[in-house]
Structure 1
Amino acid sequence: MLTITSGGDLRTLLRDADLGKLHLALDEGEGTSAFALLDTFDAQVAAAGLLLVLTDAGLHLLGGTEALVQERAEPDFIAQMPAGPVTKRLSGIVSPLRTLMTVAEGTLSRHGLRVLDDNEKTHLRGTLWVLDAGKAGAVSVSALTPLRGYDKTLGKVKAALSAAAGNGKVGTMLEASAALRGEDPALIGKTRIVMSADEKAFKAANDIIRAQLVAARRQEDGIGADLDSEFLHEYRVALRRVRSVISLFKGVYDEKQTADLKARFGAIMARTGRLRDLDVYLIERDRYLALVPEGFRPGIGKLFDMFAAQRDLEHAKLTAYLDSKAYEKEMARLEKLFDKTKALSKGPEANRHALDYAKALIWKRYRKVCKIARGIDEATPDEQVHELRIECKKLRYLMEFFAPLFGDAEVRKLIKALKKLQDNLGNFNDYSVQQAALQEQADALAGSSEPDTVEIATGIGGLVTVLHNKQLEERARVTASFAAFDSEETQAQFRTLFKPEGEAKK
């Protein structure tokens, strides 16, 4: 099967396509109908080379080896949608934490399509889909299958249609999706920073923060609508990155400016913490229930019912805050501050070249990670393991911030190696935090006269015991995880990319 995407209406382009002795035959079609393009907020379907189209006739998945269709179903989490070939295919693509949503709408026309030779013998057969989202854009997708013996015709037709499309062509389903959504394909659910080696550290910091503010604000509608928990997660990640720039880019802003920015962004983040904690618990509900013996499960179930009720209250509080004039005023001020930048007070490192500054920051943080990790053994206190997790997170943020200066591919490879260690340390931290939070919940229940108190407390006790054992297992893996990260190849790559010139070998 050959899938070709093209900006605009391919029917008009077909007339200009030079197919030599071949020609295209297009049927009249069935008229136009409404369609909705479904995807996650961050385009997980399109990124996999697919378009998910909802019509009155059903749910259609274009791309891949064959077009799939099943009965019409409204967008939801994949696990909540009816079973069928489309949802089965998407179950391995779309995160269970992400819901499908309508990302574009418009009119659709479908036509049968054939490629014939001078003898009117059919070489290729398929369907042409024309998706028109109005002002956002239009995209044509043709799915052609060769008849036996005519595989070479595919290449000829693809080249001819590409030439006819010219500058209007789009080459991937992600680009097709972006055209229909009216967005830049590189920015769907992401941020992109352009950075040069000789620009100043002050400008680099401001550009990163500005981009993260945009990313955070793009999540607000999804948080309010409560579409899925990832909107709040991505909002927090964006603001956490802002705070990391302020903290890690030492000397770029003066001390007073740094303290002011930390306080302002910290105040916003503080509003989101409890809701995110409850989201994490509820996401883990089934896993937690499976971890404990059956006798503890009724109490755990009731505990999670309490969490669900608390979550509704916390979501209402956060939504009210995000809708408030005070929040809008503060975010507008922060956006203006990093758009204009003249009101920001520079520190002693503000005018340093970004490349030199990045190398110094990343190399120093990398060496600190290695020093801490190499000192960890069975007798090392848990606090040192927690410190390693924090330093690894700081190192990863710095590498991601400055990736444009060093080559995205090279940095991604090192981040991938670091992520395996981070996953281990993250699990260790999660088990620790969850135990503390559950114990706090148990303490809050102490003395309560509610009839379910004893059952819930018993369930908490069982779950805390299991989580403690899980934490010990992760603790035992730390040394091995770091050894895998600390390979000679990885060390050499860090030295090549980030070691400042003239620094002595250590």
Structure 2
Amino acid sequence: MIPDDTKLYFMSAAALEGLSDAPAGGLVPVITWQEGVSPFQVRDTFDRELRTTGRMLIELEGGAEVLSPGSGSAAQPDVGGTRFVADFPEGPVKAALGGLSPLRCLLPVGAGHLRRGTLSLLDDEQKTRARAVLLHLDATEGGALTIVQLQGLRGYDKALARLREMIGAAGGKAFGDDTAYTQLFPDLADYTPKPVVPLDRETKAFDAACDIIAAYLPVARANEAGVIADDDTEFLHDYRIALRKVRSVLSLFKDVYGAEQTIELKGRFSDLMAATGRLRDLDVYLLEKDAFYALVPDSLHVGLDRMFALFAEQRAAEQQALARHLRSAAYRKEIAALCKLFDKRRKLARGGKADKPAYDFACRLIWKRYRKICTIAEAIDAETPDHEVHELRIHCKKLRYLMEFFAPLFPDGPFKRLIKPLKKLQDNLGLFNDYSVQQESLQAFLGGLDGAEPGNLQAAQSVGALIVVLHGRQLAERARVVDSFAAFNSAETRQTFRDLFHGGKE
């Protein structure tokens, strides 16, 4: 049943026209349309943030409109073509787009023509008792639907309730789920950066490994066009994570594939990743630009201006090189061959543990990784070398990947209770690693500066100060790692790990 406070509905044009003859309790339904049509374009982020939250951004001539299930329609002029939510001027559309990632570009989903109209309930004196604004969307390549937005009139609540009943009886549905998108754009591709691979306790380790890799290779491929077009930095980020998870399967699922096969596959996927590393490093620096400026006095900002100008130049060159690589025949041939290899699987050499049940295999791998983390973390103090803290970070990442891969095999509730403190520990370790890597990278940047070139001396002074600040933050983050591990290693967490992965035993 549709809630009484619903403001937005959608329905087919035929269902809407049928309302003209529907009984209205003594009132007369009248539909009127404005003259002419205008072009529209629906936009969303690549990972469908608006679609999954029940919203729709419609770009119109000279403006934009956001449809939201809770608040109805929000319109704003002079915002057409804006690519990132942070770039929208303050106003109702920007407010309605709240919660979108500032890193994701708003890309075209589909286009067509729009017509506006009104549905009114009139009494015998031709006085309007209830009204709905109509927005008919006809996609150029797809379907069509009509958005119906109710507008109550003071003192006529019964008429509004009657109009709502009529819309529901005619097949109108509350706007806010995926159905409006699929009706308007039936061929719209779906995308998830974290595909859930169905597994059960009878699945063999070999099949589990192949299924996981076969699920993540299309994720990487789905991001190629966005990387080439340089739409936003998250395309490369998701591309790298998908390939990193493939590599983690090859590394963690020991003896599932033959030894020589594993070495070969690791090398091939490593080669795919190699071309992406420098561009991602530069992306991270440029995304954190404002944060870096905030770490040093204003008097040193001129030097940072020089550094970030050089980073921007390097990024442009790296992006163009990666785009050429992804368009190359050699890359296309290699990635297609790898996809085919894990889809068909006949040519994959099986290892000694290929036929081991996935559940037993998962329990052993997760328990072993968890115990390794506890051993390392319990020994960390102020004197622990950085490389041991980095080792802990790598083990935590591998544990997280294992738990994500094998989640379908375990009870959802206890599993999620383990993920939350693990993620907190990972966040602290990630910051510790970032500060360390940034210091090393900035030192390398200093080493490559030509002192005779204008502006480079100021850049060196600013970067030197930045390195000092980052070192202090790294030391502070080390202390937080100890606190986060204490939360992760609570008595409840330890018992849950034992119950899920080690038969309740120590």
- Normalised by the size of structure 1, how large is the TM-score? 0.89
Pick closer, same or farther for the CA change 1:271–1:162 going to 2, 3 Å: farther
Aligned partners of 1:270, 1:218: CA distance in 2, in Å? 19
1:267 correspondence with 2:271: yes
What letter is aligned with 1:281?
Y
1:478 correspondence with 2:484: no
Pick closer, same or farther for the CA change 1:483–1:213 going to 2, 3 Å: same
Count of residues paired in the alignment = 499
> Which residues of structure 1 form unaligned runs of 5+?
none
Matches within 5 A, 1:374-453: 374-406=378-410, 411-445=415-449, 448-453=451-456
Counterpart of 1:103 in structure 2 is 109
Kept after mapping to 2: 8 A contact 1:200/1:352: yes
Could you report, residue by residue, the CA deviation over 1:286-311 in whole angstroms, capped at 9, with x for unpaired residues? 11011111222111110110010011
Deviation at 1:464, TM superposition (A): 0.4
Kept after mapping to 2: 8 A contact 1:33/1:107: yes
Could you report, residue by residue, the CA deviation over 1:124-171 in whole angstroms, capped at 9, with x for unpaired residues? 5332323232443334332224445776887886676556549xx686
SS at match of 1:203: helix
1:51 correspondence with 2:56: yes
Matches within 5 A, 1:90-129: 90=97, 92-114=98-120, 124-129=130-135
What letter is aligned with 1:96?
P
What letter is aligned with 1:487?
S
Pick closer, same or farther for the CA change 1:178–1:284 going to 2, 3 Å: farther
Deviation at 1:217, TM superposition (A): 0.9
Counterpart of 2:84 in structure 1 is 77
Kept after mapping to 1: 8 A contact 2:8/2:72: no
Pick closer, same or farther for the CA change 1:475–1:14 going to 2, 3 Å: farther
Pick closer, same or farther for the CA change 1:108–1:471 going to 2, 3 Å: same
Could you report, residue by residue, the CA deviation over 1:421-461 in whole angstroms, capped at 9, with x for unpaired residues? 1111111100000000000111122x642122211111110
What letter is aligned with 1:374?
E
Counterpart of 1:330 in structure 2 is 334
Pick closer, same or farther for the CA change 1:153–1:234 going to 2, 3 Å: farther
Counterpart of 1:137 in structure 2 is 143
| Aligned-CA RMSD value | 3.0
Deviation at 1:233, TM superposition (A): 0.7
Counterpart of 1:286 in structure 2 is 290
What letter is aligned with 2:31?
L
What letter is aligned with 1:477?
R
Pick closer, same or farther for the CA change 1:123–1:227 going to 2, 3 Å: same
Q: 1:37 aligns with which of 37, 42, 47?
A: 42
SS at match of 1:27: strand
1:467 correspondence with 2:470: yes
Deviation at 1:106, TM superposition (A): 1.7
Q: 1:222 aligns with which of 210, 226, 229?
A: 226
Could you report, residue by residue, the CA deviation over 1:353-373 in whole angstroms, capped at 9, with x for unpaired residues? 222322222232223223322
Kept after mapping to 2: 8 A contact 1:117/1:123: yes
Pick closer, same or farther for the CA change 1:400–1:114 going to 2, 3 Å: farther
Aligned partners of 2:139, 2:458: CA distance in 1, in Å? 55
Pick closer, same or farther for the CA change 1:289–1:29 going to 2, 3 Å: same
Kept after mapping to 2: 8 A contact 1:51/1:62: yes
SS at match of 1:253: coil
Kept after mapping to 2: 8 A contact 1:13/1:164: no
Could you report, residue by residue, the CA deviation over 1:198-240 in whole angstroms, capped at 9, with x for unpaired residues? 2222222212111211111111111111111111111111111
Aligned partners of 1:121, 1:302: CA distance in 2, in Å? 68
What letter is aligned with 1:465?
V
Aligned partners of 2:484, 2:497: CA distance in 1, in Å? 18
Tell me which moved more, 100-109 or 191-200: 191-200
Deviation at 1:327, TM superposition (A): 0.4
What letter is aligned with 1:77?
F
- Normalised by the size of structure 2, how large is the TM-score? 0.89
Deviation at 1:386, TM superposition (A): 1.1
Q: 2:367 aligns with which of 363, 368, 376?
A: 363
Aligned partners of 1:459, 1:61: CA distance in 2, in Å? 44
Aligned partners of 1:32, 1:46: CA distance in 2, in Å? 25
What letter is aligned with 2:501?
K
Kept after mapping to 2: 8 A contact 1:2/1:145: no
Deviation at 1:414, TM superposition (A): 3.2
Kept after mapping to 1: 8 A contact 2:132/2:150: yes
What letter is aligned with 2:51?
A
Pick closer, same or farther for the CA change 1:164–1:210 going to 2, 3 Å: farther
> Which residues of structure 2 form unaligned runs of 5+?
none
Tell me which moved more, 220-229 or 178-187: 178-187
Aligned partners of 2:232, 2:441: CA distance in 1, in Å? 23
Could you report, residue by residue, the CA deviation over 1:240-279 in whole angstroms, capped at 9, with x for unpaired residues? 1111111112222111111111100100100000001011
Counterpart of 1:499 in structure 2 is 501
What letter is aligned with 1:65?
S
Counterpart of 1:27 in structure 2 is 32
Kept after mapping to 2: 8 A contact 1:10/1:140: no
Pick closer, same or farther for the CA change 1:409–1:4 going to 2, 3 Å: farther
Kept after mapping to 1: 8 A contact 2:48/2:191: no
Aligned partners of 2:329, 2:485: CA distance in 1, in Å? 47
Aligned partners of 2:15, 2:435: CA distance in 1, in Å? 58
Aligned partners of 1:114, 1:407: CA distance in 2, in Å? 52
Aligned partners of 2:490, 2:57: CA distance in 1, in Å? 42
Counterpart of 2:95 in structure 1 is 88
What letter is aligned with 1:85?
P
Kept after mapping to 2: 8 A contact 1:97/1:229: yes
Aligned partners of 1:347, 1:287: CA distance in 2, in Å? 48
Aligned partners of 1:348, 1:152: CA distance in 2, in Å? 73
SS at match of 2:313: helix
Kept after mapping to 2: 8 A contact 1:97/1:228: yes
What letter is aligned with 2:322?
L
Kept after mapping to 2: 8 A contact 1:239/1:269: yes
